[in-house]
Structure 1
Amino acid sequence: MAGLGQACEGCCGQMPEISYPMGRLDPKTFSFEFKNLPYAYGRKSSYLCFQVEREQHSSPVPSDRGVFKNQFYHAELRFLNWFRAEKLSPYEHYDVTWFLSWSPCSTCAKKIAIFLGNHKNVRLSIFVSRIYYFWKPAFRQGLQELDHLGVQLDAMSFHDFKYCWENFVDNQGMPFRCWKKVHRNYKFVLRKLNEILR
Structure 2
Amino acid sequence: MADRKDSKTPSKGGLTKKKEKKVEKVESKPEKEKEKNKDKGEKMTKKPEKTPENQQKNEEMPQGNGEVAEGAKHPVKDEEFELEPMELPPFEIIVGDRLNPTFFKFQFKNVEYSSGRNKTFLCYQVDIQGGAGETDGLRGYLEDEHSGSHAEEAFFQQVLAHYDKSLHYTVTWYTSSSPCTACAAKLAEILRARKTIRLNIHCSRLFQWEEPEIQVGLQALVRAGCKIRMMRPVDFAYVWSTFVENEEDNFTPWEDCQDNYDYYDERLCDILK
Q: TM-score, normalised by structure 2?
A: 0.66
Counterpart for residue 81 of structure 1? 157
Counterpart for residue 125 of structure 1? 200
Q: Aligned to 1:102, which of 147, 172, 177?
A: 177
Structure 1: unaligned runs, 5 residues or longer: none
Q: Indicate whether 1:15 and 2:76 are aligned.
A: no
Question: Which structure dedicates a bigger proportion of its chain to strand?
Answer: 1
Aligned to 2:114, the other structure's residue is in SS state: coil
Using the TM superposition, give the Cα deviation of residue 62 of structure 1 relative to its aligned residue in structure 2, in angstroms: 6.3
Pair 17,185 (structure 1): closer, same or farther in 2 beyond 3 Å: closer
- What is the CA–CA distance in structure 1 between the aligned matches of 2:135 and 2:111, rounded to whole Å? 34
Q: Indicate whether 1:111 and 2:186 are aligned.
A: yes
- What is the CA–CA distance in structure 2 between the aligned matches of 1:15 and 1:112, rounded to whole Å? 16
- What is the CA–CA distance in structure 2 between the aligned matches of 1:159 and 1:91, rounded to whole Å? 34
Give the residue type in structure 2 aligned to 1:5: P
Q: Indicate whether 1:55 and 2:129 are aligned.
A: yes
Count of residue pairs brought into register by the alignment: 195
Q: Aligned to 1:176, which of 251, 257, 265?
A: 251
Q: Which has the higher contact order (CA 8 A, sep 6+)?
A: 1
Structure 2: unaligned runs, 5 residues or longer: 1-69
Q: Kindly name which structure, 1 or 2, has the bigger radius of gyration based on alpha carbons.
A: 2
Q: TM-score, normalised by structure 1?
A: 0.89
Over the aligned positions, Cα root-mean-square deviation in angstroms equals 2.4
Counterpart for residue 101 of structure 2? 27
Using the TM superposition, give the Cα deviation of residue 52 of structure 1 relative to its aligned residue in structure 2, in angstroms: 0.2
Identity over aligned residues, as a percent?
Answer: 33
Pair 46,11 (structure 1): closer, same or farther in 2 beyond 3 Å: farther
